[in-house]
Amino acid sequence: MGAYIILGLIIFLLLVIVSNIKIVPQAQIYVIERLGAYYTAWNTGPHILIPFIDRISKKVSIKEQVVDFKPQAVITKDNVTMQIDTVVFFQVVDAKHYTYGVENPLSAIENLTATTLRNIIGDLELDSTLTSRDVINTKITSILDMATDRWGIKVNRVELKNILPPREIQDAMERQMKAERERREKILQAEGEKKSAVLVAEGEKESQILRAEAEKESQILRAQAEKQAMVLRADAVREQKILEATGEAKAIELVQTAYAESLIKLNNACPSERVIKLKALEAFEKAADGKATKIIIPSEIQGLAGLAAGFKSITVDENK
């Protein structure tokens, strides 16, 4: 009977020991209290808990967490009320401070985000609020990160998820955007028409330039053609005159050659004085046939003329 009791005690002790062997998973930290006071923080791996003395106070996740807070009513500098909801990205960096620093960390972060957002938006007008998301995100992140250090929390990023102005403000903004789009459309249309007119004018200008250049080239070609034709005609006339002059020169040369040969033949024939006088008369006859108004008659020919006249008078007397 005693053996069973001892065996039961041994089994009970083994069960107690086994039940107090704790394995901390990845990305978690266990906060351990000993006799009601903070003792240590267990990281990833196996650990042994002392029964009835130590206890796990809190299991803390050190992964980055995302919390989407409900929309908060804020008022801008120009007294416009709007609804803004935020998304906070944070991570626990100190498990002890996270466990004992604040009772409800998420509620504390939410309230701190709401008050910080109201302070920042209160210094901005509506238009600046709508166009300065990055500035607002940076300011909120910086303020929350400093405020949550004592809670063992690091705020990595804060994003403004939605900014919802009142319905009448939205309608006014839509009308404004519509007017702006219409204005841009008119500007674009006017710029398009301007560019079209410029292109048409440039095209007409280039067309006129091309036509002028074509006319210029045509006149140049016509002038060159006329010049070449004149040169060819001048060359032809020059060649013709050269040929005519050459022909006349050859004709004169032939005439002179024939005349010289006739003189040679006449000289070789030893003509008598009567024959020479007869040739002189023939030459005078040819000279008298011209259009000259004055004729100089050689003395030899005058004597022959007197001789002819005397011969004529004798002949007449004899006939009578």
Cβ–Cβ < 8 Å for 111, 151:
no
Q: What percent of the chain has pLDDT over 90?
A: 13
Q: What's the rounded Cα separation, in Å, for the pair 128 and 144?
A: 22
Q: How many degrees, rounded to 5, is the angle at CA 312 between CA 310 and CA 315? A: 110
Give CA separation, 144 vs 13, 91, 124, 138, 157, in Å: 49, 12, 19, 10, 9
pLDDT tops 50 at residue 68: yes
Residue 80: is it exposed, middle or buried by C-beta count within 10 angstroms (0-12/13-18/19+)? middle
Greater model confidence, 237 or 314: 237
- Give the pLDDT of residue 156: 92
Q: What's the rounded Cα separation, in Å, for the pair 108 and 140?
A: 15
Q: How confident is the model at residue 320 (pLDDT cuts 50, 70, 90)?
A: very low
- Render pLDDT for 82-119 as a digit per residue (tens, 0 to 9): 888 899 999 999 999 999 888 888 899 999 999 998 89
- Give the pLDDT of residue 315: 46
- Render pLDDT for 169-211 as a digit per residue (tens, 0 to 9): 777 777 888 888 888 889 998 998 889 889 988 888 888 899 8
Count the Cβ atoms, other than its own, within 10 Å of residue 23. Answer: 10
Q: What's the rounded Cα separation, in Å, for the pair 232 and 278?
A: 54
Strand-by-strand arrangement of the 28-34 sheet: 37-42, 28-34, 54-61
Greater model confidence, 191 or 286: 191
Q: How confident is the model at residue 16 (pLDDT cuts 50, 70, 90)?
A: confident
Q: What's the rounded Cα separation, in Å, for the pair 204 and 181?
A: 34
* Tokens (6 digits) for 85: 């909801």
H helices of the chain, in order, are: 2-19, 95-100, 105-122, 126-131, 133-147, 167-268, 273-288, 299-319
Greater model confidence, 12 or 26: 26
pLDDT tops 80 at residue 319: no
Cβ–Cβ < 8 Å for 88, 117:
no
Q: What's the rounded Cα separation, in Å, for the pair 177 and 162?
A: 19
pLDDT tops 70 at residue 133: yes
Global pTM?
0.52
Q: Pick from 157, 156, 176, 166: which is nearest to 129 by CA?
A: 166
